[in-house]
Structure 1
Amino acid sequence: MPQYYFAIASKKFLVDAEPIEEILRERSNHYKSINKDIDFWFTTNPQFIHLPQFEHIKKKLKNNPAAIISLDEQFIEWIKLRINFVITGKFHSSSF
Structure 2
Amino acid sequence: MTTYHYVLASQKFLLEEEPFQEVLEERYRYYKEHNQEIDFWLVKQPAFLEAPSLQSVKEKCPQPAVAVISTNVNFINWLKLRLEYVLTGSFDAPSEEISDPLASLESVNSDQ
User: Structure 2-normalised TM-score?
Assistant: 0.81
The count of corresponding residues between Structure 1 and Structure 2 is 96
32-41 or 61-70, which moves further after superposition? 61-70
RMSD of aligned residue pairs (Cα, Å): 1.1
* Structure 1 residues without counterparts, runs of 5 or longer: none
Stretches (4+) displaced over 6 A: none
* Structure 2 residues without counterparts, runs of 5 or longer: 95-99, 102-112
1:45 maps to 2:42: no
Contact residue 15 and residue 21 of structure 2 kept, 8 A: yes
Q: Which residue is equivalent to 2:73?
A: 73
Q: Which residue is equivalent to 1:21?
A: 21
Please say which structure displays the higher CA radius of gyration: 2
Partners of 1:40 and 1:20 in 2: how far apart? 14
Matched AA of 1:45: Q
Give how far 1:83 is off.
0.3
> Residue 36 of structure 1 aligns to a residue in which SS?
coil
Higher relative contact order (CA 8 A, sep 6+): 1
Q: Which residue is equivalent to 2:59?
A: 59
User: Structure 1-normalised TM-score?
Assistant: 0.94
> Residue 21 of structure 1 aligns to a residue in which SS?
helix
Give how far 1:62 is off.
4.6
Partners of 2:19 and 2:43 in 1: how far apart? 15
